[in-house]
Structure 1
Amino acid sequence: MVNKTVLEHAQFLDKNDELASYRELFHIPKDKNGNNWIYLCGNSLGLQPKSVKKYINQELEDWKNLGVEGHFEAKKPWMPYHEFLTESMAKVVGAKPIEVVVMNTLTTNLHLAMVSFYKPTKKKFKIVIESDAFPSDRYAVESQLKFHGFDPVNGLIEWKPRVGEELLRIDDLRQIIADQGDEIALLMIGGVNYYTGQFFDLKKIAALGHSINAKVGIDLAHGVGNIQPNLHDANVDFAVWCTYKYLNSGPGSLGGLFIHEKYANDITLNRFTGWWGHNKNTRFNMRHDFDPIPGAEGWQLSNPPILSMAAINASLDIFNEVGMDKLREKSIKLTGYLEFLLSQFGEDIIRIITPKNPEKRGCQLSIQVINADKSLHRKLMDAHVICDWREPDVIRVAPIPLYNSFEDVFNMVEVLKGILNE
């Protein structure tokens, strides 16, 4: 019988992992003795691809040598630079190229999308979110309610877990729809919940929302690059995401926007506009009325920051080479191995609140160590096991298939075991 609890098994899994070599494409932080950190925090900030420096340096050289002519003469001309990212990003989120654009940051894109898709009336004005939605989402939807003259106390409906449970049930969302559907204008749901790591059935959520003539938006901040949301087939109206977590684009980098193809040529939609969303053929004529580019590009405001896009380009080239199918396959194995090792402690010591079904979670496992507090997380960090803490009592651990190994997972659990045995 194979002993899965020993280092040799982790090393065996790494030896037989066809994606193992991609780890070498990333900078792994090291301690003062030159030993790699155990970095399991790509759900907050992904590691830097080694190729990023080359990609950014190319733009610096073109800026130095060409000045403004870099917009047309750079190796990758800056005028259409965002277009170089579109096809790869569309593959990551399961969309058509016309449905995707890289621009702005996540919450900015969320507000821009709600300008178009949150159309409240006196009767139909409520917004449904998760009760434990990411704070930025809650702030955004509350401010949209206020902007339209509604009190968030009355306008915000929370999809809550049942008493004694952490996870959300689709049946409870279905009941909300049945009870209050004639008052609901928008469902704004995190595709993967930041706290529990639960991955929702986006197609079912979209169908529920559309059954009451409400729009459906998804925040993919904690899902993009680690699950396969298949946004086009899910039929959600819009989605937003950041790129600095699983997509490894650097701190504070740009976000992404999905607008379903059915709205590609809908010029009746309200939107906040800017010149980069205007018809490319007449953009520089300057004196034309706004003529939106078909598809998601028509929501752009300003010309994009090229240095940030260069970093995204470096990472997306790796994603494009590997493909989401293989990344997802390895992710399920990595997270399953972590789950197995943690299960050896017993639920009286460690509870995993993330769904056990791999199809209902991404890279992240959210663990609760019984009777522990934040000092446990500090001890892990002091040992250079990099994960993160979320109040009140969860440690989020996210092994990333592009650069984490099975040995990383094994060593993390060994460090945790040592701390708990102190």
Structure 2
Amino acid sequence: MNYQNSLAFAIEQDELDSLKRFRDRFLIPKHKGEDAIYLCGNSLGLQPKSAAQYIADQMANWQNLAVEGWFQGSDSWLEYHKPLTRSIANIVGASENEVAVMNSLTVNLHLLMISFYKPDSKRFKIIMEGGAFPSDQYAMESQVKFHGLDPKDAIIEIFPREGEVTLRTEDILNCINEHGDELALVMFSGINYYTGQFFDLPAIAKAAHDAGAYAGFDLAHAAGNVPLKLHEWGADFACWCSYKYMNSGPGGISGIFVHEKHFTDKAMNRLAGWWGYRADRRFLMTPGFDPAVGAEGWQVSTSPIILLALFKASMAIFDTVGDIDILRKKSVALTGYLEFLTGEINKDRGDNVFNIITPANEADRGCQLSIVCSRNAKKIFNYLAENGVIGDWREPDVIRLSPVPLYNSFQDVYHTAKHLANAIEAVK
């Protein structure tokens, strides 16, 4: 796309946008009586207007049916998760029986680690990216300690080369090969929360398997953001949250993927609960855990219907769009436009005030751009907030901005760039 630094260009692109109608399906925060420019979907997605009705419907079922709501009504609670399974399978590139909607992200990560991190005297090491989201770091540390190991010996973190801010795929693969004989698990984010780098997940999964290790992914910043093909890529397991790009509300329901090649492994450890028991015999209440076939066999506790209702409201929107690739096309254009306009600010000033550390290659990033401010960083961030631009701050000097294709526009991006430019002078 040949970008132009003009409001007329932004308006024209918005008029041509086939997804523009979806913006009206979300509640946008207000700033001084007008819609704020919300570029923080990488942290918390906006509320679908339909969410309140989805919750109200289940509150009515609870009121009118009470316990019979599990079995009666057009969307009985026992089957309530089924359409959600179909929706999320399309988003992460899996078959329906390979995914389950359940729990919260780090809980799911721990449950999956019980199955897929099985250290022994030879293979006990975990490779992960340096600077992963702290929750992942804590999870790996505690899992290693749970097995009586020292994190300093068992966890290998890969950091960028000196003078660089993102990881090279070749360095990741070389590290996996180097430690292959001792490697039990490669555990990577899909997209790094800080830099916005989208890792080469199929290459990482293949390298892990070639080394004799499992490959697992935390897709918190990737699910609903970029196209994923977990089954095709051969990932062993993955988990994600749904409150960022999938708009399920703060602390919303999570989900898991387990590749079908593991379904017949009777020796695989798992922490069991009755909701993971095979559905056709669950209410017989017999002793001895007989898991459901598929990812649902990793479920533990009864489905939280209100959280599922919030997620269902958002999934109805994704289902209407029909294909994540449609969202991806607009995402690439919006993010590219923000990148272009940020470069124009530097060019106009002859000064690199803003340095984007997210990869320039569109295939290596999602919606998010992480922008380092060379001076007055926090003041510039505050200036944006004071002028109705809601982004995300990361110490010491990074502003994360994420134009989400479901509800952001080219005009949002254009006006954000104008505020960035104005902030340079305003905060001296």
Question: What TM-score does the superposition give when structure 2 sets the normalisation length?
Answer: 0.96
Q: What amino acid maps onto 2:143 in structure 1?
A: Q
1:382 counterpart residue number: 386
2:373 counterpart residue number: 369
What is the CA–CA distance in structure 2 between the aligned matches of 1:282 and 1:129, rounded to whole Å? 39
The farther-off stretch of 203-212 and 69-78 is 69-78
What is the CA–CA distance in structure 1 between the aligned matches of 2:353 and 2:386, rounded to whole Å? 21
After TM superposition, give the deviation of residue 274 of structure 1 in Å: 0.3
What is the CA–CA distance in structure 1 between the aligned matches of 2:250 and 2:73, rounded to whole Å? 25
Q: What amino acid maps onto 2:27 in structure 1?
A: H
What is the CA–CA distance in structure 2 between the aligned matches of 1:371 and 1:37, rounded to whole Å? 25
3-state SS, counterpart of residue 233 of structure 1: helix
- Are 1:202 and 1:229, in contact at CA under 8 Å, matched by a contact in 2? no
1:204 counterpart residue number: 203
- Are 2:177 and 2:207, in contact at CA under 8 Å, matched by a contact in 1? no
3-state SS, counterpart of residue 218 of structure 1: strand
3-state SS, counterpart of residue 223 of structure 2: coil
What is the CA–CA distance in structure 2 between the aligned matches of 1:69 and 1:348, rounded to whole Å? 63
3-state SS, counterpart of residue 79 of structure 1: helix
After TM superposition, give the deviation of residue 276 of structure 1 in Å: 0.3
- Are 1:38 and 1:412, in contact at CA under 8 Å, matched by a contact in 2? yes
2:23 counterpart residue number: 23
- What per-residue deviation string (whole Å, max 9, x for no partner) do you get for residues 379-402 of structure 1? 211222100011222110000000
What is the CA–CA distance in structure 1 between the aligned matches of 2:359 and 2:377, rounded to whole Å? 22
Q: What amino acid maps onto 1:18 in structure 2?
A: S
Q: What amino acid maps onto 1:381 in structure 2?
A: A
1:104 counterpart residue number: 103
1:404 counterpart residue number: 408
After TM superposition, give the deviation of residue 371 of structure 1 in Å: 1.8
What is the CA–CA distance in structure 2 between the aligned matches of 1:7 and 1:108, rounded to whole Å? 45
- Are 1:86 and 1:97, in contact at CA under 8 Å, matched by a contact in 2? yes
- Are 2:197 and 2:358, in contact at CA under 8 Å, matched by a contact in 1? yes
1:5 counterpart residue number: 5
Gap runs ≥5 in structure 1: none
- What per-residue deviation string (whole Å, max 9, x for no partner) do you get for residues 30-60 of structure 1? 12x3200000000000000111111111101
- Are 2:70 and 2:76, in contact at CA under 8 Å, matched by a contact in 1? yes
Q: What amino acid maps onto 1:23 in structure 2?
A: R
1:215-230 to structure 2, matched below 5 A, reads 215-230=214-229
- Are 1:374 and 1:393, in contact at CA under 8 Å, matched by a contact in 2? yes
After TM superposition, give the deviation of residue 150 of structure 1 in Å: 0.7
Gap runs ≥5 in structure 2: none
What is the CA–CA distance in structure 1 between the aligned matches of 2:215 and 2:115, rounded to whole Å? 12
After TM superposition, give the deviation of residue 3 of structure 1 in Å: 7.5
- What per-residue deviation string (whole Å, max 9, x for no partner) do you get for residues 68-127 of structure 1? 000011331001212220001000111110100100000000000000000101121011
2:157 counterpart residue number: 158
After TM superposition, give the deviation of residue 138 of structure 1 in Å: 0.3
After TM superposition, give the deviation of residue 179 of structure 1 in Å: 2.0
1:70-109 to structure 2, matched below 5 A, reads 70-109=69-108
What is the CA–CA distance in structure 2 between the aligned matches of 1:84 and 1:239, rounded to whole Å? 20
What is the CA–CA distance in structure 2 between the aligned matches of 1:386 and 1:112, rounded to whole Å? 34
The farther-off stretch of 16-25 and 343-352 is 343-352
Q: What amino acid maps onto 1:394 in structure 2?
A: V
1:358 counterpart residue number: 362
The farther-off stretch of 379-388 and 183-192 is 379-388
Q: What amino acid maps onto 1:14 in structure 2?
A: D
Q: What amino acid maps onto 1:408 in structure 2?
A: D
What is the CA–CA distance in structure 1 between the aligned matches of 2:79 and 2:96, rounded to whole Å? 14
- Are 2:98 and 2:259, in contact at CA under 8 Å, matched by a contact in 1? yes
Q: What amino acid maps onto 1:12 in structure 2?
A: E
2:14 counterpart residue number: 14
- What per-residue deviation string (whole Å, max 9, x for no partner) do you get for residues 258-306 of structure 1? 0001112322210000000001111111123111101100000011110
3-state SS, counterpart of residue 35 of structure 2: coil
After TM superposition, give the deviation of residue 218 of structure 1 in Å: 0.2
- Are 2:127 and 2:176, in contact at CA under 8 Å, matched by a contact in 1? no
- Are 2:3 and 2:337, in contact at CA under 8 Å, matched by a contact in 1? no
3-state SS, counterpart of residue 144 of structure 2: helix
- Are 1:273 and 1:299, in contact at CA under 8 Å, matched by a contact in 2? yes
Among 393, 400, 417, which residue is 2:421 paired with?
Answer: 417
What is the CA–CA distance in structure 2 between the aligned matches of 1:373 and 1:176, rounded to whole Å? 35
1:307 counterpart residue number: 306
- What per-residue deviation string (whole Å, max 9, x for no partner) do you get for residues 356-407 of structure 1? 1111100000111112332221221122210001122211000000000000
3-state SS, counterpart of residue 375 of structure 1: helix
- What per-residue deviation string (whole Å, max 9, x for no partner) do you get for residues 203-248 of structure 1? 1000010011100100000011010121111111000000000000
What is the CA–CA distance in structure 2 between the aligned matches of 1:16 and 1:254, rounded to whole Å? 34
1:292 counterpart residue number: 291
After TM superposition, give the deviation of residue 174 of structure 1 in Å: 2.0
- Are 1:265 and 1:295, in contact at CA under 8 Å, matched by a contact in 2? no
- Are 1:188 and 1:218, in contact at CA under 8 Å, matched by a contact in 2? yes
1:173 counterpart residue number: 172
- Are 2:378 and 2:397, in contact at CA under 8 Å, matched by a contact in 1? yes
The farther-off stretch of 155-164 and 76-85 is 76-85
What is the CA–CA distance in structure 1 between the aligned matches of 2:315 and 2:112, rounded to whole Å? 24
What is the CA–CA distance in structure 2 between the aligned matches of 1:378 and 1:187, rounded to whole Å? 38
- The structure 1 segments of at least 4 consecutive aligned residues displaced by more than 6 Å after TM superposition are none
Aligned residues: 420
Q: What amino acid maps onto 1:342 in structure 2?
A: T
